[in-house]
Amino acid sequence: MSYLTGKFPAAERRMIILAALVLLPVFFLPVLPIWTMKLWAPQYREGLEIVIYSNTIRGDLQNINILNHYVGMKAITPQDFDEFNYLPQALTLFGVLALLAALVNRRWLAIVGWLLFTAFAALMFSDYARWLHDYGHDLDPRAALKLPSFTPPLIGYSRMANFKVLSLPGTGTLLLTVAWLLGPVAAWMEWRDRRRAARPS
Amino acid sequence: MKRGIILILVMATALGLYSQLPGCSGMGAARGKSAAERVYVKPGEHDAYYAFLSGGHSGQVYVYGMPSCRHITTIPVFTPEPAVGYGIDEKSREMLGGFSWGDAHHPGLSETDGNYDGRWLFINDMPNARIARIDLKDFKTHQIYGPIPNLSAAHACPFPSPNTEYVFAASRFSVPVPNRAARVEDYAKEFRGIIAGIKVDPNSGEMSMGFEILMPPFAWDLSDAGKGPSHGWSFFTCYNSEMAFDSLEVKASQAEMDFIAAVDWRAAQKAVDEGKAKMISGAPVLDPATVKGIVYLIPVPKSPHGVDVNPTGEYICASGKLQAEVTVHSFAKMQEAIAAGKFDGERMGVPVLKYEDCLEAKVPVGLGPLHTQFDDKGNAYTSLFLDSQITKWKVGPPWEVIDKIDVYYSIGHLMASEGDTRNPTGEYVVALDKLSKDRYLSVGPTHPEAAQLIDLRGPKMELLLDFPTYLEPHYAQMIRAEKLKPFTVYPLAENKTPGMIARAEDARIERKGTRVDVYGLVVRTHFVPDIVRVNVGDDVYFHWTNLEQDDDIAHGFGICWSSKNMQIEPGETKTIHWKAERAGINPFYCSNFCSALHQEMQGFIEIRPQGSSTASLQKPSPEKVAAVSALLNE
């Protein structure tokens, strides 16, 4: 119990602040992609791109929608995603929590924040997987080209009709992962220090 | 799993790098490579140069890639081109001004500081005295200026000045000024030539009248603008200073000397601005008999043809045509003679300088010299029509011929890589021949023209490739490819064309009296609307906007049983007029293959008997609007 209500040593505290700084400012701006999907076809050797940010989708959307309509896929539009209305705010909230934990210097606050963040990330991943599944399965039965339903890859490479698709996390997700990892790292550093302190010299 | 992800990351990097690979320029050192290797551009790679060949009496401009000598496209300029609807859609039809033919001779790339800047290409229509401007952002004709008043047969045209301040034109076939009923026998008394300076707006490229100079009725033939020290001057050769009006072959070939007219275009513009010009047919015309200091005549032997200023701007090289020499005049000597007032009389008010006072050298190049181009090492290349050769000679003492190469056959112009600028690249010259005879597979009596690509990089000229062209390139221009950055789709956000619609919800058909306006859009693979109801006698204006923003996804609009067809490029709006003449059904369709369901991209015009009560506003079905709208909703 005293562990949870305890304070951070200086090095660990700096880590939490760093995590906060990584989380805090960037996600209101569509600068760092969360996820990217690149598509190649014989006549699109230069590739088409979908780039997902915390608050919108960009890339060759009109073109991809025009191509997708032949197989009856729903058009991809940023307005369809409620997620964009809370994702940046949520990420910022986790940043604020981390910052608060470091400022008031309470370990329990950091742990609660980290756990919420982890749960939220898991939720978002499953949400993303659901969207991908829906796009590939909710096909207009009146479409000109009838295609068996499919699921675009969450991560990695696959082939769909005449398209090759590569789906990868973006720099935003890499930064989020770093911020997330700083939690366990801080905990490990502290554990190591305590063991050293406990060892008779 | 981890290894899988790493593999994917490696693949992504590799694919990323692959997609970044630029089209190789193929510019490597040529030495030691065979002719075939030097012109071979690997599949998927790009040429190092664009070449713009005039289309002669086809009225068009041909675009080639060099050194592969591949024909890339044809730009319609003075002649309708139904494939893209040039001269058929309302805007280009208006631009052609009722003409369906032009004779395009001399392409001239815009210049900054005497070097090609890759912004515009100007080209003349000789018989109708017009100049067109092609924008090299979209390779489309954007302006046709003319017919230039008072001026007849703009052959010495456009030959832009070093900062594209002006393009020029001069009368090859003099006529009365202003043109009026006259007897041809009164040629010397009634007929006059015109040299015109046409201003070019430095930002838009838009041409407008600058000045005209009334000249003796000689046959003003070719032109080049001064550069460097001679910047501010422009030079025009002539034949027929005899002023013959019939049987010119003999009668215009008698005088020992014809002339170069040297025009001080800054002085000419100043005189116009000071109100010294007389307005004739809407153009300010300067008469050298009363306005001094704007134009001088320099004698040149025997009906000269081409006049070309060397890259340093010091020398004016005139090709003798009926003489086996290039006459090189010195700009500095000419200026001295003008300053000293050493004139040998006047021709119709234009002071004549003395031949010897301006002469720098005579170079015995060979028979029938026509045109000269330059390289980066101080050499000149002159085409020889009668000898069917190109002569390489040294600009400067000892003014000697260095090399000759055969071409096939009867060369007219030649085009060196950036060879008429202040900084030629000295890599290639193309011979533009008038006869092909037996060079290619026979296609009957109408032979193609012939051209040869020649390598200038070695000590001797070397023939690389022989290729046919359609009728009939005269002059041409060759510019390094990286100077051009064309865009490939028109940005929809910048489309302000009248009749443009951006949303399927706005598609509609409006009728007022017998005028019907169809505001529609095209996108893979829809016409919205695809059913149009009109009455016999209606004038129907189709305004189609292509909402695509993808490379190479142009749509066509062709109406069955009509001469109406056009191509609408991505992001473009075009209007076409069609008259409903017979009751019945008239299909229309996408005439430019666009995508997998191109065949399905069609519609119907329902033509009802005259006076039927057809709705004044028709809209496409809500279902169709919703389907197309979903595609475009970003």
The predicted structure's pLDDT at residue A6: 76
* CATH (residue range B492-632): 2.60.40.420
A70 vs B contacts (CB less than 8 Å): 596-597
Q: Does the distance separating the beta carbons of A46 and B631 come in below 8 Å? A: no
Q: Do you find a cis peptide bond into B147, omega within 30 degrees of 0?
A: yes
Choose among B129, B189, B192, B119: nearest CA to B160: B119
Cβ of A63 within 8 Å of Cβ of B550? The answer is yes
Query: Which chain A residues have a beta carbon less than 8 Å from that of B524?
Result: 66-67
pLDDT tens for each residue of A131-177? 999 999 999 998 988 888 889 999 999 998 889 999 999 988 998 89
CA gyration radius for chain A? 21
Map out the domains of chain B as residue ranges. Answer: 492-632
**Around Cβ B553, how many Cβ atoms within 10 Å?**
20
pLDDT at residue B374, rounded to an integer: 98
List, as ranges, residues 110-149 from A with C-beta within 8 Å of B: 144-145
Predicted pLDDT at A19: 86
Could you give the CA distance from residue B237 to residue B52 in angstroms, rounded to a whole number? 24
Cβ atoms of B576 and B541 within 8 Å: the answer is: yes
The pTM of this model reads: 0.90
A161 to chain B, any CB pair closer than 8 A? The answer is no
Q: Judge whether B262 and B334 are in contact, CB under 8 Å.
A: yes
C-alpha closest to that of B118 among B155, B77, B73, B164:
B164
Minimal Cα–Cα distance from A157 to chain B, Å?
A: 7
- Contact of B235 with B261, CB cutoff 8 Å: yes
Q: CA torsion sign, B361 to B362 to B364 to B369?
A: positive
Are A62 and B600 a contacting pair at CB < 8 A?
A: no
Q: Which residues contact B252 (CB under 8 A, 6 or more apart)?
A: B219, B239, B240, B242, B244, B303
Determine how many CB atoms are found less than 10 A away from the CB of residue B435: 15
What's the pLDDT at B20? 41
Residues of A in contact with B632 (CB under 8 A): 62, 65
- pLDDT band for position A12 (cuts 50, 70, 90): confident
Residue window 42-81, chain A: list those with CB within 8 Å of chain B.
45-47, 60-63, 65-67, 69-70, 74-75, 77-79
A61 and B634 within 8 Å at the Cβ level: the answer is yes
B350 neighbors B216 (Cβ within 8 angstroms): yes
User: Could you tell me which residues of chain B have a Cβ less than 8 Å from any Cβ in chain A?
Assistant: 4-5, 8-9, 11-12, 15, 19, 523-524, 548-550, 596-597, 600, 627, 630-634
Q: Do B596 and A145 touch (CB under 8 A)?
A: yes
The first and second tokens of residue B480, run together, are 């390094």
Q: Do B632 and A166 touch (CB under 8 A)?
A: no
Of B12, B549, B597, the CB nearest to A144: B597
Mean predicted confidence (pLDDT) in A119-137:
94
B623 secondary structure, DSSP code: H
Q: What is the mean pLDDT of chain A?
A: 88
pLDDT of residue B19: 41
> Which two structure tokens, joined as six digits, stand for A136?
């590939």
CB pairs under 8 A between A and B: 57
Q: Identify the H or E element spanning A198.
A: helix A171-198
Interface predicted TM-score (ipTM) of this complex, two decimals: 0.79
Q: Could you tell me the mean pLDDT of each successive run of 10 residues in chain B, 634 residues long? A: 47 44 42 91 97 98 98 98 97 97 98 98 98 98 98 98 98 97 97 98 98 98 98 98 95 94 98 98 98 98 96 96 94 98 97 98 97 98 97 97 97 98 98 96 96 97 98 97 97 96 96 97 96 97 96 96 97 98 97 93 97 95 92 73
Q: Does A92 touch chain B (CB under 8 A)?
A: no
Strands B283-286 and B207-215: parallel
Chain B residue with Cα closest to A144? B597
Provide CB contacts within 8 A for B275, sequence distance 6+: none
Residue of A nearest to B634 (CA): A77
* Cβ <8 Å between B633 and A75: yes
Interface test with B, best of A43, A62, A81, A177 (most B CBs within 10 A): A62
AA letter at B464: L
Minimal Cα–Cα distance from B556 to chain A, Å?
A: 18
> Does the distance separating the beta carbons of B8 and A156 come in below 8 Å?
yes
Q: What is the pLDDT of residue A89?
A: 87
Would the pLDDT of A110 be above 90? Answer: no
B549–A63 C-beta distance less than 8 A: yes
Summarize the confidence of residues A12-39 as an average pLDDT. 82
Give tens-digit pLDDT for A60-79.
999 999 999 999 999 999 98
- Residue B442's SS3 state is coil
DSSP letter, residue A32: S
Residues A115/A120/A123/A125 CA torsion (nearest 10 deg): -100
Report the gap between the CA of B526 and the closest CA in chain A (Å): 11
Q: Phi and psi for A62 in degrees, rounded to 5?
A: -60, -45
Task: Verify whether the Cβ–Cβ distance B8 to A166 is below 8 Å.
Answer: yes
Contact B631 A75 (CB under 8 A): yes
Nearest to A156 among B4, B550, B597 (CB): B4
Among candidates B125, B2, B96, B84, which has minimal Cα distance to B555?
B84
What residues of chain B lie within 8 A of the CB of A62, using their CB?
549, 631-632, 634
Cβ <8 Å between B8 and A40:
no
Q: What residues form DSSP beta bridges with B559? A: B588
Q: What is the DSSP letter of B171?
A: B
Confidence at A201, pLDDT banded by 50, 70, 90: low
